[in-house]
């Protein structure tokens, strides 16, 4: 009797869901609000805002031991290049994770990964801003 009541209670809870199937805690009918095009646009923006200036900075002659980058005497420092490589690695991973998720899961929400990629890109842009 108790198991029958429990079964009816579960059925009553499931009815409001209608035709929506729940898989892994996420509604299977959900449409991903982040398109592959949005990911490519974000990646292209990153290329222009960070990668190009970082590459330009790395190509500058190395600063003398007692010198630092200035707009009047541009030079590159190995420690700055290492820092730029670190933020690039984080941003590239965030973009790669986002792209892979969007392609593999077209019906799952990728907004959290998109925001993580945006944050990583923002951090990279902040890092390169002093050396543009």
- Whether pLDDT at 12 is above 50: no
- How many structural domains does the chain have? 1
**Confidence at 31, pLDDT banded by 50, 70, 90:** low
Question: Is residue 6 assigned to a domain?
Answer: no
The pLDDT value given to residue 27: 43
Question: Is residue 23 assigned to a domain?
Answer: no
Task: Please state, in angstroms and rounded to a whole number, the distance separating the CA atoms of residues 4 and 9.
Answer: 9
Percentage with pLDDT > 70 across the chain: 77
Task: Please state, in angstroms and rounded to a whole number, the distance separating the CA atoms of residues 128 and 83.
Answer: 10
The closest alpha carbon to 114, from 53, 57, 32, belongs to 32
Question: Is residue 17 assigned to a domain?
Answer: no
The closest alpha carbon to 49, from 131, 120, 130, 128, belongs to 128
Contact 32, 25 (CB under 8 A): no
The pLDDT value given to residue 124: 96
- Whether pLDDT at 101 is above 90: yes
Task: Please state, in angstroms and rounded to a whole number, the distance separating the CA atoms of residues 113 and 101.
Answer: 8
Question: Is residue 68 assigned to a domain?
Answer: yes
Question: Is residue 14 assigned to a domain?
Answer: no
- Whether pLDDT at 89 is above 60: yes
Question: Is residue 35 assigned to a domain?
Answer: yes
Question: Is residue 25 assigned to a domain?
Answer: no
Task: Please state, in angstroms and rounded to a whole number, the distance separating the CA atoms of residues 70 and 120.
Answer: 26
Question: Is residue 16 assigned to a domain?
Answer: no
The pLDDT value given to residue 24: 34
- Judge residue 75's burial from the number of C-beta atoms within 10 Å of its C-beta, 0-12 exposed, 13-18 middle, 19 or more buried: middle
Q: Which domain holds residue 62?
A: 30-129
> In a 3-state reduction of DSSP, which class is residue 53?
helix
């Amino acid at each position: 009797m108790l198991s029958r009541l429990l079964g009816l209670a579960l059925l009553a809870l499931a009815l409001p869901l209608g035709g929506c199937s729940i898989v892994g805690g996420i509604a299977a009918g959900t449409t991903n609000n982040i398109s592959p095009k949005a990911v490519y646009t974000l990646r292209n923006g990153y290329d222009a805002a960070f990668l190009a200036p970082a590459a330009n900075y790395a190509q500058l002659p190395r600063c003398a031991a007692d010198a630092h980058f200035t707009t009047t005497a541009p030079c590159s420092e190995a420690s700055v290049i290492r820092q730029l490589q670190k933020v690039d690695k984080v941003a590239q991973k965030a973009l790669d994770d986002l792209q892979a998720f969007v392609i593999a899961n077209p019906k799952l929400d990728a907004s959290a990964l998109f925001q993580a990629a945006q944050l990583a890109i923002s951090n990279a842009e902040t890092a390169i801003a002093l050396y543009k």
